[in-house]
Chain A
């Protein structure tokens, strides 16, 4: 069993508490137009040429043992809070090998965390159920008239998984992440639907942020069209934060 990853980032501080090692899984089932990691979209290994003319590839197959060994290198640094985060792409699409890896990491008392869009078969979440200490869940486009078109995937699947998630895990283990993207997630209607969801599910924490326009160089290496989005202002972020907090009674943070 192998894990197909585009990179393994050590000393990761943006993907969960403490010092972490983040695994970027290759392959995603949806297509967010603002995606900053286009190399993680396709599950296929992709060759590309760097600016200096060197051929490289996006993606590599790792045995569980290999990834486990790399994760273990920083064990001393994880402490009580840190650990491993599976991100992507959509790490849930590789739930089987991931469960195998997490099982071994848990035996070493290393915390395991998942970052997911929830666009994956429900059983995949079940596979990881026993190993997850913390879950970051995206809330992107929930407006049912536009979601399927924008993300190129069925919103129904997301809703089903979200319900399962909140039934399977205590709310303290769940953080919702909301990327604000102009005219995509950042519309009045969408914010209202998100607010409804937060009210219903009551996650312990919620993070709002503006997406950055950093992935353009990677899009070029893959010959993919790149969409640039207007940066959401600090003022807008704070306004949404205030609104969501008021409507849903949730703790929202703005992160940068």
Chain B
């Protein structure tokens, strides 16, 4: 079913997708019961498509039966795997953890051996070297860049083979530091490396095409806190940019110590319109992580779950579990309270918080019910899990926090402001009247709809009053989450970005900001109504991301390509100052509405048009129509500010 669903996203017709899946029907096998992982590794078949210097292969028709939820959005610590052979991961002892670990490791080594045999018999140009790398994988460290990249590919393909989703790539420049390679060769190797990671793009894509979780984290700081970049940082950005493919995507960690030239490079890359990089501000994020409870060394070494949620480098925290919807308290108020009694704004806010609290309790209740699939693979590579002999799925990692996301904060803030003005200041309606218009999806209430829709939207304006209002709501959120300890022994964190701004809005009732039923929620921290970039950045900088609030806060903006290309220095200044002022993360779509409309109407003329979706890059043509329309609408609104 899943295979059909994925193939159907790119097939011309559902029949074509079905045919494709059926043609492999005999190969499809889901392994359950004990030793299911070992069986998959034993039976997986290999293919050499696209392989010249490396082997990278995943038998998408063989998988492990997943009963609970599988850990996703994770990145193995590749650095360690490069520095020692796989046999290093064998464990002494007769306990269950050690036995499971050793059995899986046996299977992995046998799998690597089979892979070496396959390569030996293949036509792959670099087969002799690959075979020797695979043989050396057992006991030796990787000696050069080529061997290191091959090793990463093998560990990466094993994760996909085991049914993991959204497999991250981690701090690749940092992990390859020390491997000296001549630039032209390094570029050639990286080009094939990234192309191969793109190989199973359709099947790797999760919620939408492009949502693969393959994120490369570049730049940043060392564990000791030193500013880090090396020659691979720029080379990888360049390579991915030149490949003009949406995936893998880049997250670039930046800090105040970076030189001006580096900033200029970043803006040039952004203007190339491949959706990358997402810029992540170390100066903010590391401090918030430390005050949340991460050790500084781990915070310095942070990576992110597939998109933007910061996690410590070598652990398996689940960070993208559910989205809290800030419009939900309005629904609950409607259902549970006597609306006639809402006679002051303070009373409304009191109810809003009361219902937010109840709603958050239902979310934490849900978090308590989650059952994670046992994960001997990730446990094998997790220092802490090995030390305490406890699977990462049951809290074996050093950090075991849950991350949740939020949607519709902008819609809620604009709603509350509209209500304040129309109900309590101008007294044009009672709360009950306005709520009934909303619940009727403004049917026969066009005047009220226009009034709400055209009202001055507060979200995104850098007025102290608006920012402190948002901060008050997030402060309450963290207070309501304060006492929560998840079943793995960790806490919970949240942020103002979410992939669910369209998914969760489908059929969701209308809201007081003039949003009709089913229309998308606002995206991350963005401005829809022609607010100047400086204003949006000031606004985002004044939001409080401390405490539990640092779990991904992306300012998402649209820019016309000509504007950024002709004003590189101004955009350097914009981005630099925004981060210095306290913005956490930034991403941009450098595209204009006219191009998007043309591409929507003439998809064949724009086969390679790449856009940024919630936190990943995708081919515009492969997106569902509602995502295309929303991007067009946002581009239009942005351009309105400049005409």
Q: Which A residues lie at the B interface, using CB under 8 A?
A: 9-11, 13, 18-19, 52-54, 73-74, 76-77, 79, 81-82, 214, 256
Contacts and interface: CB of A to CB of B under 8 A. Distances in A.
B556 to A, nearest CB: 16
Q: Which 9 A-B pairs have the closest CB atoms?
A: A10-B532, A11-B532, A74-B534, A13-B567, A11-B534, A11-B533, A13-B570, A76-B577, A77-B534
A18 B534 CA distance: 13
Contact of B534 (A53, A54, A73, A214): A73
Contacts of B450: 52-54
Contact of B563 (A10, A13, A18, A19): A13
B573 interface: yes
Nearest to B537: A77
Given A13-B563, A13-B567, A77 B573 contact: yes
A27 B570 CA distance: 30
B454 interface: yes
B11 interface: no
Contact of A52 (B454, B569, B577): B454
B273 interface: no
22 contacts: A10-B535, A11-B532, A11-B534, A11-B535, A11-B570, A11-B574, A13-B566, A13-B570, A18-B570, A19-B574, A52-B454, A53-B450, A54-B450, A73-B534, A74-B535, A76-B577, A76-B580, A77-B534, A77-B577, A79-B573, A82-B570, A214-B643
Interface string B577-601: 1001100000000000000000000
B317 interface: no
Contacts of A13: 563, 566-567, 570
B538 interface: yes
Contact of B535 (A73, A81, A82, A256): A73
B562 to A, nearest CB: 8
B382 interface: no
Interface in B146-203: none
B462 interface: yes
A186 B205 CA distance: 56
A66 to B, nearest CB: 13
B422 to A, nearest CB: 15
Given A10-B535, A13-B563, A73 B570 contact: no
A201 to B, nearest CB: 27
Contacts of B569: 18, 81
Interface string B346-375: 000000000000000000000000000000
B520 to A, nearest CB: 20
Most chain-A Cβ atoms within 10 A of its Cβ — which of B533, B573, B580?
B573
Q: Is the interface of B mostly helix, strand, loop or mixed?
A: helix
Interface of B: 450, 454, 462, 532-535, 537-538, 562-563, 566-567, 569-570, 573-574, 577, 580-581, 643
A81 to B, nearest CB: 8
Given A54-B454, A73-B462, A82 B574 contact: no
Contact of B581 (A9, A18, A76, A82): A76
Given A11-B533, A13-B563, A74 B573 contact: no
B381 to A, nearest CB: 43
Contact of A19 (B462, B566, B570): B570
Nearest to A12: B532
Contacts of B566: 13, 256
Contacts of B538: 73-74
Nearest to B531: A10
A68 B67 CA distance: 62
Contacts of B562: 256
Contacts of A52: 450, 454
Contacts of A53: 450
A9 B563 contact: no
B579 to A, nearest CB: 11
B612 to A, nearest CB: 20
Contacts of B577: 76-77, 79
Given A13-B566, A18-B570, A77-B574, 6 more contacts: A19-B570, A53-B450, A54-B450, A73-B462, A73-B538, A77-B537
A214 B643 CA distance: 8
A214 to B, nearest CB: 6
Contacts of A19: 534, 570, 573-574
A53 B454 CA distance: 11
B18 to A, nearest CB: 46
Nearest to B581: A76
